[in-house]
Amino acid sequence: MSSLPGRQSAFGAAARRHYDDAVHLCEHSRHASADHLSGFAAECALKDLLVGFLGARVPERGGPPQDQAGTSYGHLPQLWSQVQVTAGGRVGAQFLSLLAGDNPFGDWDVSDRYADGSAITAQRAWQHIRAANRLLTVQQKARLRGAIS
């Protein structure tokens, strides 16, 4: 998602990297950073599905993926509902079932990176890590089935 020339977004690889780091940090009681990275892992997995399967594109200048009308896909928790809308009425039924129900990242906020971290518990961090893992599993299945290149 860099705007530097020659760099392309690699949402799938970034999702896995953020997830692995989140697990490692949580195992070492670094819950605030683990929670933050689990949200980024989920975002990257969702953006990988959007670009690889649901018709979004990454602008040439970099930045977040966009739909055909040029609307950007941003951060969680709003990204969750954006993906629901995009997947609706398409071949994305497998993704809609994943996104049904309450958004497990409804309490996640990208701005938490500026907080002191004291409000992030181990339970919250592990819940977000498990939710990110479910997204990574769907992403991997889509890639194995050839839905994502």
User: What are 28-50's pLDDT values in tens digits?
Assistant: 999 999 999 999 999 999 999 99
- pLDDT band at residue 5 under the 50/70/90 scheme: very low
Query: Are 129 and 23 a contacting pair, CB within 8 Å?
Result: yes
What pLDDT digit, counting tens, does each position of 84-98 carry? 888 876 566 767 777
In this structure, what DSSP letter does residue 30 have?
A: -
| Of 111 and 141, more confident | 111
Count of H-run helices and E-run strands, the chain: 5, 0
Please state, in angstroms and rounded to a whole number, the distance separating the CA atoms of residues 33 and 21: 9
Please give the distance of CA 102 from its chain centroid, rounded to a whole number: 16
Write down the residue that tokens 């070492």 correspond to: 28
Please name each of the domains of the chain with its CATH number. Answer: 11-143 (1.20.120)
